[in-house]
């Protein structure tokens, strides 16, 4: 399979899942159950080592790694962000929105996840959120010109997976709680909303090479973004209170949230992080002169 449906968590218009699926590849559409589900809707599923398809879902897939996925995995492996990205990730540019995201690097010969073993996932308690959701997909949609985001779920039914034939029944809410997805969703919300907004903006927002590089750094490497904040002219341009700065010195989760706010500021002008008065005046002068923002 060339595409992973669990990575398709952002959609542009709330027109119903059947219509939202139209931009997905055929092989992805064929394994989705096109019914919108809420947290109280039920489904049957169970995965365990005795099932004959055990581990089959851990190869030939594309797993987008969220900022919190990377943070949890590199802590588990005791790696720096640079080392983790070099060993386990590869950049991939989303077709719509043109933003670079990290994909899990699969084994070149087997196509399997590097953490897959005959006994199962070797990093199970710190596995990515896409793995936690399976066989559920999460969709975020936004009505045209609407500020609110609609969230719903759908089933993924792949022919090799016999877990759907098991009798164990769950609500969506029970499954998310059992798999620990809720905590990941809370940590990834800002990043997911950022990607959704960029996709919705279409060609109206420039994604330059420089901006793409900043986006990838901010999404994957809090250490590098920390150096950008404290060792460049960043604090001469942006107003950041001392309490926030103190947290950013060592708190990677706070740095991830801060990076999302900065990206919303520079990509969409949301002013999550306000400019210093002098920098604001310079920006106004460039706009008046017609000089593009970098």
| Segments forming the whole domain that contains residue 242 | 221-289
Distance in angstroms (rounded) separating the CA atoms of residues 199 and 148: 15
Q: Are residues 46 and 115 in the same domain?
A: yes
pLDDT number for residue 6: 41
pLDDT above 70 for 242: yes
**Residue 74 counted as domain residue:** yes
State the pLDDT confidence band at 288, using cuts at 50, 70 and 90.
low
Residue 103 counted as domain residue: yes
Q: Say whether both 183 and 226 belong to one domain.
A: no
Residue 151 and residue 229 share a domain: no
Across-strand partners of 150? 141
Residues 115 and 182 in one domain: yes
The reply to whether 132 falls in a domain is yes
Report whether the peptide linkage leading into residue 135 is cis, meaning its omega lies within 30 degrees of zero.
yes
> What are 173-216's pLDDT values in tens digits?
999 999 988 778 888 888 888 887 777 766 555 567 788 898 99
Whether 271 maps to a domain, the answer reads yes
> Which of the pair, 14 or 242, is modelled with greater confidence?
242
184 shares its domain with 226: no
Categorize the per-residue pLDDT at 144 as very low, low, confident or very high, splitting at 50, 70 and 90.
low
- Cβ-Cβ contacts under 8 Å for 278 (sequence gap 6 or more): none
195 in any annotated domain: no
The two structure tokens encoding residue 235: 């604090």
Of 170, 188, 206, the domain-final residue: 188
Beta bridge partners of 121: 116
Task: Give me the pLDDT at residue 73, please.
Answer: 97
Judge contact between 37 and 155, C-beta under 8 A: yes
Spatial separation of the C-alpha atoms in residues 224 and 246, rounded to whole Å:
17
Q: Is residue 208 part of a domain?
A: no
Lowest mean pLDDT among 13-27, 154-168, 269-283: 13-27
Structural domain includes residue 276: yes
How many distinct structural domains can be found in the chain?
A: 2
- Please provide the average confidence, as pLDDT, over all residues in the chain: 82
CA distance 65 to 181: 14
Q: What is the pLDDT of residues 14-58, one digit of tens each?
A: 334 454 544 444 444 445 666 788 999 999 999 999 999 999 999
Does pLDDT of 284 surpass 70? no
Domain boundary among 136, 166, 188: 188
Regarding predicted confidence, which is higher, 253 or 5?
Answer: 253
Share of residues in the chain with pLDDT > 90 (%): 51
Give the number of other CB atoms < 10 A from CB of residue 31.
17
89 in the same domain as 178 = yes
pLDDT at 223: 94
Q: Model-level pTM?
A: 0.81
- Is residue 127 a contact partner of residue 1, using CB atoms and an 8 Å limit? no
pLDDT of residue 247: 96
Cβ–Cβ contacts within 10 Å for residue 166, how many? Answer: 13
Residue 59 lies inside a defined structural domain of this protein: yes
């Amino acid at each position: 399979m060339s595409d992973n449906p669990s990575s398709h968590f952002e959609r542009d218009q709330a027109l119903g899942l059947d219509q939202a699926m139209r931009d997905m590849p055929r092989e992805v559409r064929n394994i989705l159950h096109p019914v919108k589900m809420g947290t109280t809707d039920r489904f049957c599923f169970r995965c365990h080592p005795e099932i004959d398809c055990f581990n089959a879902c851990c190869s030939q897939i594309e797993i987008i790694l969220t900022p919190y996925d990377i943070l949890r995995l590199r802590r588990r492996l005791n790696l720096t962000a640079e080392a983790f990205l070099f060993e386990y990730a590869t950049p991939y540019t989303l077709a719509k929105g043109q933003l670079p995201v990290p994909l899990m690097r699969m084994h070149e010969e087997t196509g399997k996840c590097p953490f897959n073993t005959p006994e199962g996932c070797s990093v199970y308690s710190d596995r990515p959120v896409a793995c936690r959701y399976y066989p559920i997909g999460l969709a975020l949609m936004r009505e045209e010109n609407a500020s609110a985001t609609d969230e719903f779920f759908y089933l993924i039914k792949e022919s090799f997976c016999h877990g759907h034939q098991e009798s164990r029944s769950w609500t969506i809410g029970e499954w998310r709680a059992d798999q620990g997805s809720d905590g990941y969703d809370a940590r990834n919300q800002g990043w997911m909303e950022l990607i959704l907004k960029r996709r919705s903006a279409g060609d109206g927002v420039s994604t330059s090479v420089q901006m793409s590089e900043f986006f990838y750094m901010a999404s994957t490497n809090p250490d590098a973004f920390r150096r950008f904040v404290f060792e460049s002219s960043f604090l001469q341009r942006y107003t950041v209170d001392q309490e926030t700065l103190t947290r950013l010195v060592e708190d990677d989760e706070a740095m991830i949230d801060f990076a999302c706010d900065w990206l919303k500021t520079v990509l969409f002008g949301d002013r999550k992080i306000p400019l210093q008065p002098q920098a604001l005046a310079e920006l106004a002068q460039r706009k008046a002169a017609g000089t593009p923002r970098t």
